[in-house]
Amino acid sequence: MSTDKYDHACAYVMLSDGSGEGILTTGGASFTNEYLAVTEIFDWDRQEWRQLGDLYAPRNSHGLGVIEGVPTAFGGYDFIPTHDGGSIVGRAATDIIEEYSGGAWVDSRLRMSKARLYFAQVDLPPNAVSCK
C-alpha cells in the first residue's frame, strides 16, 4: 500500500466500471493517529497499488464487503475533527453505510440497525441464503 495505516478494512473486488480487480483497502488510521478516508486497490493486472476516490467520511475499525457487486463500507469509528492542533478529542461508533458508485464513494443513505465497530462480516455467494 502506498499509505501506511492500520485498522483499515479490505476485500477482494472486481469493480463494475472495469477499472480493476484485486484487493481493495479503505480507511484506517495513520501512525500519527489521523483517521483516513483514503481507498486503494491492488490491481492484479498491473501488479501495483493505486488510489481510488476517498471515502465519504474518514473511518477505521469498519467493515468492507461486496453487496450485489457494489463495494460497501459500513460501521466502524468515524472521525470528529477538532481545531486544537488536529488532535482527536472524540470518536464514536457509526452506523453509516457507503457505496463505491460511479468512481466515487457516496453515502448510501441506508443505516445499520445499530452502530458497530471491531466486527467481522462474511461475503456470501448470491442465493446462498433465502430469506422469508
Range(s) of the domain holding residue 81: 9-111
Any bridge partners for residue 40, and if so which?
Answer: 25, 51
pLDDT of 130 above 50 = yes
Does some domain include residue 125? no
The pLDDT, as a whole number, for residue 54 is 93
The SS3 call for residue 15 is coil
Does some domain include residue 39? yes
The pLDDT, as a whole number, for residue 87 is 53
Does some domain include residue 87? yes
Does some domain include residue 121? no
Neighbours of 54 (CB within 10 A): 15
The number of domains in the chain is 1
pTM: predicted TM-score of the whole model, two decimal places: 0.80
Does some domain include residue 122? no
Give the pLDDT confidence of 77-92 residue by residue, as tens digits: 887 554 455 555 556 7
Does some domain include residue 118? no
Please name the residue ranges forming H helices in 1-132.
Answer: none
Does some domain include residue 52? yes
The pLDDT, as a whole number, for residue 83 is 46
pLDDT (average), residues 56-62: 88
Four-residue CA torsion sign, 21, 27, 28, 29: positive
